[in-house]
Structure 1
């Protein structure tokens, strides 16, 4: 058969397109970058450029009457609510500002400086400039009495006259006067009309006028703001968010039509907060924040590493001052400056110690990075003393420090070996040298040749005498009250060791004691042999054993106190539940069985559930038990087990219900299963590795097996599991993986039977009272993440296959 080349090429191209379609992933929905609800909240809370304050001041005199009306209270509440709402918006905006880039910008963002939003109840400082609209509260008490709230009128005067009390005082001009000076002027004016010397006077700012300030330049929120006049330029900048990331903190200009231009310097304010008093504002003043000038970074062994803005002649010395000064561990001999100059990065070494000594400075440029290195070399002027001294540790080393000097400081104790100590010295080639010293001669004469000079890092070790003495032990095992090892002495006898072991136990009665001893053979190899045996006749005295007083022990002896084979501690078993006399019972002998115990306990009650009886055994767990079969078959029943000490038999009350659980369509089970399935899918998505996913599935499997969600239903005699699933469970939930072959029944006594297969049929297990029918599910497969398709690889592989096929076809044609 001939293959046409054109047809073959068309077939290969069709295969290529099919491969591309099969390899392509389905499109995935694109999630929004931000939750719309969150975005709407941010849009709603977008800060405005104006802060409005309520409150007004009336011209003339207002005599305090102490009366409050409903409208005033309501107005005050409304004002408070507006102020709270404004503060919430302001705090939200401040929290969204970025971290400061230049030191000083953070003071306008972290609320180190606050803004006064209320016009009332503000305590004015002496440098506050009074203006039209301000209201003063003046109170005089004592020899004279006077009380009034007075506002500055349009001409800048205050009227102190109080006609109701017959007080006639000429007006006083206080506009543009500082609050402290105005207070003195008011007191002087009052002195001419009342007895002020024998009275007390209180003059406070009752209401601050509002003014408009224009903030421009490099700030986060430039604009015009209406604020109480008690705010300075520092406070006003907070309203606008303060200088931006590139805004200056050293050359902030305050321009006013009534005063000369002022320059606000945040660093000067930090060193002297009182300068803020010179920056009170007038109506329609301008605050301009220019770009930052020279910005230099300092890092390393400095108290406050950060970026700092320098002005005019400020350089390295001033930078260190602004950064809080050097740390104690700063290395001053050489600090390093990284500079960008002539299109390259340069490293400059500066001897800061020399500059500080000569009172010089070092010029810094914009973008410089100053690194203060740490002192990394540890101190070397020390020696170490350890061992048998009163105060071991390190000691200072001077040029003439000797061994005698150090031993006098550390104090040699009596248990020290005085014949010889060693100085361990590190040589220049890093090798060790041991220098012996005779302590006796040294302590007798400090000028003896033994009193050698010490060098840095020398180590003196004084040995304990006990370190040259071998310590031996003897060991005791078996029926004693305290097993263990005991230190050997040359006069130690068997009776002593029995005493140290708190005597022998009662179960050692009519037994014996064996002692094994270490001996050496001709080859010098060690071995243990049983050296001596002592009989224990009776337990009259736990410390008296014939011959024990005269038997001396040797090092490494091992003493074994045997337990009598006739001694048996009483064993207890327990029976609980629907039994006539429940409780613990001592076993008669080792051959006592379940039926014997039931008879001793008076038999079971009328409501005992014999099919649900359980036997719990230590170290083995659940032992299946069926008292119904035991009752029918009698003592020869296979369930008439021999009891062991610690066994517990549990006999529950009669049960007449059956439960059903697992993957069934019953709403009470299915709804809960769907929710659990969704939760599992979310957890599996969060898992990063295959191991984590398998652990989640295993935990879910254990939870479903041990504590499944179930429903209780009535018992039907002679019915199998499939009947209950169909009648009460609404069938198997196939969507959730339920399968007939996974149906099993767990009976009340713990026995489990599963569905069997007979030819082409399934035989479901029978159901008894108290049993649970469970529908299992097939194991869920973990979806593996598909790797992204490499279209380049798909195309190249397809073309390679195509060309290979064409080559083979051409070769075959050539051969033909």
Structure 2
């Protein structure tokens, strides 16, 4: 019996030691007898929680445990078991937002479908906005009136002289179990009451708590999920929500009221009784969330059908369909619609009402806004104010501040001019125009003498009326705008505005002065004005001839000009700037040369350039003359009688624009040397480019031949010799259309007469080109048959004729 007591005593001591170790790894004094295999999962969770509460890792605790007698093998077992153990009651939720809050919540998933059937109903957009879901914030402090229930989890911590830390769940029976303290019933209690109850129970076990040497902290570490039922929403059914969720959160999950659901009489049923009637308009209009109460398990949210809805359209800030309660007036409806906008007509509002048989229209005066009770189905139309003014008057023209001003009874024209800060210097004071709107909305014109009105004449100072438009004329309005024209040898010819006392010197300076080519002759064409017609005078204008000093813009005789004069400054008879040509290639002195006279020929320029070099090809002298833009336009204007869509027309136009920059003039230098009067000794134009090719004893053959190559020139060899030297013509080559381009730019083609074909002569540095045969369209089967039938018919006619 004694041995049995000893065994029981040792077992209790071991269990207490294990529990003590589990409760405080750091404060145990002897760990030599600890067996990790005997520790339960709850003990391991407590060890892990204690390490976390002391901000210590297992590696930091290892030397302390070994110093207190724990073997390295046992500590390795402890490390392995702790690696696979979570804190009791801990959550595996990986949501970072929930982890950072220090409180977890079972993940809730509710699908929601966005509705579009009642988008015009005021408040429906509240439940279609995915960024507005009314989810509870788990980071907020626990509400003191939060009621605990099964599924909640409390974090109980004792710190000070004695330490204890554990996550304790509320069991299905509504109790929590605290080691060494026992079970405590907390279900149905607020977190505040439960915290006081737990502190008192711990104080009965931990003496240091009762003495104040240790403190107790209790928080809600995990909240439960509750079930609520929503009836009458777009998506009615049972929903799982957080125990911290509110009515608005549940309504959002249910999609809000259905098509005919009420937004103002939503009932929250708790224990089969109406706990609260919710009016969403308090939140929508005023932002009042007093109806957003917390939910409890098995609550029912019932959304009944609406009693009456009305529609307001037109000039309000938030038109739509609104639900009205009994006793609410039209003024309440306007406040729901955020009031009238800036252009609304508020003296009265038209409402279309429904009777038992038909519709009727009623006008609600402004005095009735606070008393009229809207009826179900009413449609209110708020119109715009009239586009007219009750006290507008305008002045425009030659005043310092033309504008629209306010009108008052008894206002006269002098008063309006004073408001516009007086007349301008150019004002025409003998007459002013008043455009007046008559009672039948037609207009009339009233003339006023401004000079008399402003001098104090009461009869001339006309009384004005609302909507009058006063126009003050300017003397400049009655003046014709004159101009003069200058052309010829001035830097900026053109039209210029005529001013009083304008002279020829003024106009010359304004036009930039005379050019260097201006002559002394000036011609002025002046308009003839006369009240009588002289049949014997055929002149349309008067011509005035003057002489001026071309070297000076300031003439001694400063001639006065008249409106519409046309001044022509003539050019001197001989005034030509030096013109250039260029020569390049095999000459002694290539470069640019000035044309000495108008009959300068290529022979003269070559002679001035030192003549041809020994290496020059006398058959390769040519002139490249720039093609002017007007010449290209003339070529393009030639009518080829082809449709515009024809590709040849398009290609030729593109070639003229982009490729045709120079025209080549071939020169026969050998004949020019013998006879300078030969036609090849052409007269040069400014910009001409003379090119003298160097001698190249080769002949280039290209095009549709077997081998594009250059063949050495052999005197006396024919055209066909060079074609044979490159392998002849290929399958696509058109031999009878082959041509040659000589070094001087001249070309020659193959000719034929009857069965004889003559080929052009070949010179050194020439180029032979064989073009491609044009594609011939093959006859179709139908065309062959048709052609055969025609021949057969002709043959039959011939046979018949000779019978």
Distance in structure 2 (CA, Å) of the matches to 1:637 and 1:203: 122
1:320 aligns with 2:320: no
Deviation at 1:399, TM superposition (A): 1.7
2:514 is matched with 504
Deviation at 1:216, TM superposition (A): 3.1
Deviation at 1:396, TM superposition (A): 0.8
SS in 2 for 1:275: coil
How many corresponding residue pairs?
588
Matches within 5 A, 1:240-639: 240-257=254-271, 260-275=274-289, 278-344=292-358, 346-356=359-369, 359-365=370-376, 367-412=377-422, 413-430=424-441, 432-445=443-456, 448-506=458-516, 508-510=517-519, 512-521=521-530, 523=532, 528-535=540-547, 540-541=551-552, 543-544=553-554, 549-564=557-572, 566-567=574-575, 618=629, 620=632, 622-623=655-656
2:749 is matched with none
Distance in structure 1 (CA, Å) of the matches to 2:152 and 2:428: 91
Distance in structure 2 (CA, Å) of the matches to 1:575 and 1:186: 116
CA contact (8 A) 1:336 1:372 kept: yes
Deviation at 1:296, TM superposition (A): 1.8
Deviation at 1:300, TM superposition (A): 0.5
Deviation at 1:302, TM superposition (A): 0.9
Q: Relative to structure 1, is the Cα distance of residues 231 and 324 closer, same or farther in structure 2, using a 3 angstrom cutoff?
A: same
Greater alpha carbon shift after TM alignment, 248-257 vs 291-300: 248-257
1:106 is matched with 125
Q: Relative to structure 1, is the Cα distance of residues 246 and 561 closer, same or farther in structure 2, using a 3 angstrom cutoff?
A: farther
Deviation at 1:456, TM superposition (A): 1.1
Deviation at 1:516, TM superposition (A): 0.8
Q: Relative to structure 1, is the Cα distance of residues 303 and 394 closer, same or farther in structure 2, using a 3 angstrom cutoff?
A: same
| CA deviation vs aligned residue, 1:308-366 (integer Å, no higher than 9, x gap) | 1223333533322211122232223332222343343x23222230203xx3123311x
| CA deviation vs aligned residue, 1:139-190 (integer Å, no higher than 9, x gap) | 999x99999675562466778x899xxxx999795845378x9899999999
Deviation at 1:235, TM superposition (A): 1.2
2:64 is matched with none
Q: Relative to structure 1, is the Cα distance of residues 403 and 628 closer, same or farther in structure 2, using a 3 angstrom cutoff?
A: closer
Q: Relative to structure 1, is the Cα distance of residues 275 and 95 closer, same or farther in structure 2, using a 3 angstrom cutoff?
A: closer
Distance in structure 1 (CA, Å) of the matches to 2:482 and 2:382: 60
| CA deviation vs aligned residue, 1:464-490 (integer Å, no higher than 9, x gap) | 233344553322223322334434344
Unmatched 5+ stretches in structure 2: 1-44, 58-82, 99-103, 633-653, 673-677, 692-699, 705-725, 735-766, 779-803
CA contact (8 A) 1:234 1:276 kept: no
Q: Relative to structure 1, is the Cα distance of residues 100 and 557 closer, same or farther in structure 2, using a 3 angstrom cutoff?
A: same
Matches within 5 A, 1:231-246: 231-246=245-260
| CA deviation vs aligned residue, 1:168-213 (integer Å, no higher than 9, x gap) | 999795845378x989999999999889999999987543321222
1:177 is matched with 190
Distance in structure 2 (CA, Å) of the matches to 1:121 and 1:443: 80
Greater relative CO, 1 or 2 (CA 8 Å, sep 6+) = 1
Q: Relative to structure 1, is the Cα distance of residues 381 and 201 closer, same or farther in structure 2, using a 3 angstrom cutoff?
A: farther
CA RMSD across the alignment: 6.2
Deviation at 1:262, TM superposition (A): 2.8
Distance in structure 1 (CA, Å) of the matches to 2:366 and 2:197: 56
| CA deviation vs aligned residue, 1:419-468 (integer Å, no higher than 9, x gap) | 443433333355554444444444444x8333332111222222223334
CA contact (8 A) 1:331 1:372 kept: yes
Distance in structure 2 (CA, Å) of the matches to 1:217 and 1:594: 107
| CA deviation vs aligned residue, 1:579-634 (integer Å, no higher than 9, x gap) | 99xx998995999999999999x9999xxxx9xx9988647463467999977988
Distance in structure 2 (CA, Å) of the matches to 1:503 and 1:262: 97
Distance in structure 1 (CA, Å) of the matches to 2:258 and 2:351: 27
CA contact (8 A) 1:120 1:208 kept: no
Deviation at 1:254, TM superposition (A): 2.5
SS in 1 for 2:508: helix
CA contact (8 A) 1:217 1:290 kept: yes
Q: Relative to structure 1, is the Cα distance of residues 133 and 424 closer, same or farther in structure 2, using a 3 angstrom cutoff?
A: same
CA contact (8 A) 2:151 2:169 kept: yes
CA contact (8 A) 1:210 1:226 kept: yes
Q: Relative to structure 1, is the Cα distance of residues 272 and 132 closer, same or farther in structure 2, using a 3 angstrom cutoff?
A: farther
Distance in structure 2 (CA, Å) of the matches to 1:596 and 1:188: 131
Deviation at 1:110, TM superposition (A): 1.5
CA contact (8 A) 2:108 2:240 kept: no
CA contact (8 A) 2:108 2:241 kept: no
Q: Relative to structure 1, is the Cα distance of residues 466 and 476 closer, same or farther in structure 2, using a 3 angstrom cutoff?
A: same
Distance in structure 2 (CA, Å) of the matches to 1:101 and 1:554: 75
CA contact (8 A) 2:46 2:166 kept: no
SS in 2 for 1:448: coil
| CA deviation vs aligned residue, 1:230-284 (integer Å, no higher than 9, x gap) | 2212112222333333333223333233874433322122245453564321223
Greater radius of gyration (CA): 2
Deviation at 1:498, TM superposition (A): 0.5
Distance in structure 2 (CA, Å) of the matches to 1:485 and 1:468: 22
2:80 is matched with none
Deviation at 1:301, TM superposition (A): 1.1
Distance in structure 2 (CA, Å) of the matches to 1:274 and 1:177: 26
1:134 is matched with 152
Q: Relative to structure 1, is the Cα distance of residues 146 and 452 closer, same or farther in structure 2, using a 3 angstrom cutoff?
A: farther
Q: Relative to structure 1, is the Cα distance of residues 440 and 592 closer, same or farther in structure 2, using a 3 angstrom cutoff?
A: same
SS in 2 for 1:718: coil
Deviation at 1:384, TM superposition (A): 1.1
Unmatched 5+ stretches in structure 1: 1-57, 650-654, 660-714, 724-766, 779-816
| CA deviation vs aligned residue, 1:356-397 (integer Å, no higher than 9, x gap) | 3xx3123311x3321111112411312111122111111111
CA contact (8 A) 1:509 1:563 kept: yes
